Amino acid sequence: MATLKDSYTLSCSSAFREAVLALAERRHVNAGDVARSVMLVVPEPVIEAFADPGEPPEDDRETVVLKSGRAEGRPWKRKPRLQVRLPPGLTVPFIRKALNLALALDGGTMSLDVDHPDALDARQAEVAAAEAERARDEERRQKQKELMALREEIDRLRTVISVLSFDPLPNGVTTRAEALHILGFSPYSDPSAREIRARFRMLATVHHPDSSYGNHNRMSQLNAAMDMLRKAG
């Protein structure tokens, strides 16, 4: 009786897929056979503990042409994938790990003691530790990038709030430095006429008496600041 098999779709990076397919071609088998050969000789806990190459990065996509449905003939970007047929009950991460282990064995970065198939040599532990450390480094770098982006956004919002919520000067706008301050520029800066007009339009939209947050005093000083800078320019 034929062995039951399920079809598995493995999302993976393009580089990983090409490496697996190249290995299968050299061995004159398919990708499923490569994974199955590892599962036959390597204990399940060892495969489970091996590094999962994971999903492809966001910028790694392939373009296919849809062959059916209302969008037939249109190009569609999707994650790179491998299609394999293996016994039921397996998980996608486990199969990816088995294929990754096959690549490591083929590349010589680790070896298997055939007399004791449950004992991978010390190089496996080193490779696994190095891969785990790289994953942690990548996670730390990603968190640092997110933290920097958050800080930049906070600084931007602080600047916007500072510009929008200026206090009218008690004696009105009397100098160029005060005019720049009212428009949210540094008193010692030298913005272009285009930058000044853009800033005035933004603030006027907020402070015009007809707007929801309108303020007559602020609008008056905005006009005075704009007049002074226009004449000075």
Q: Which residues of 195-211 are buried (b: 16+ CB within 10 A; e: fewer)?
A: ebeebbeebbebbbeee
Residue numbers of the domain that contains 36 = 6-120
Domain match, 40 and 112 both: yes
Domain count, the chain: 2
Instruction: Report the pLDDT value the prediction gives residue 157, as an integer from 0 to 100.
Output: 65
Q: Is residue 142 part of a domain?
A: no
- Domain end call among 88, 120, 152: 120
CATH number at residue 209: 1.10.287.110
b/e map of 126-148 (b: 16 or more CB within 10 Å)?
A: ebbeebeeeeeeeeeeeeeeeee
Residue 1 falls inside a structural domain: no
125 part of a folded domain: no
Domain boundary, last residue among 61, 88, 120: 120
pTM of the model: 0.49
In a domain, 145, yes or no: no
Q: What is the rounded CA–CA span in Å between residue 80 and residue 153?
A: 34
Please check whether residue 155 lies inside any domain of the structure.
no
Burial 52-86 (b: 16+ CB within 10 A, else e): bbebbeeeeeeeeeeeeeeeeeeeeeebbebebeb
| Average predicted confidence (pLDDT) for the chain | 83
My answer on whether 170 and 105 are in the same domain is no
What pLDDT shows up at residue 8? 95
Residues making up the chain, counted from first to last: 233
Please report whether residue 156 resides in a domain.
no
Confidence tier at 78 by pLDDT (50, 70, 90) = confident
User: Quick check: 61 and 79 in contact, CB under 8 A?
Assistant: yes
CA distance 226 to 28: 77
Query: What Å distances lie between residue 196 and 15, 29, 163, 203, 207, CA to CA?
Result: 50, 69, 13, 11, 16
Q: Does the residue 43 lie in any domain?
A: yes
Say if 62 falls within a structural domain.
yes
At which of 120, 155, 188 does a domain end?
120
Give percent above pLDDT 70 in the chain.
83
Tokens found for residue 110: 């680790």
112-159, pLDDT tens digit by residue?
Answer: 655 554 445 555 566 666 777 888 888 888 999 888 988 888 777 666
Query: For residue 74, what are the contacts with CB-CB under 8 A and spacing of at least 6?
Result: 65, 66
Answer yes or no: are the C-beta atoms of 41 and 117 closer than 8 Å. Answer: yes
Claim to verify: residue 196 and residue 103 sit in the same structural domain: no
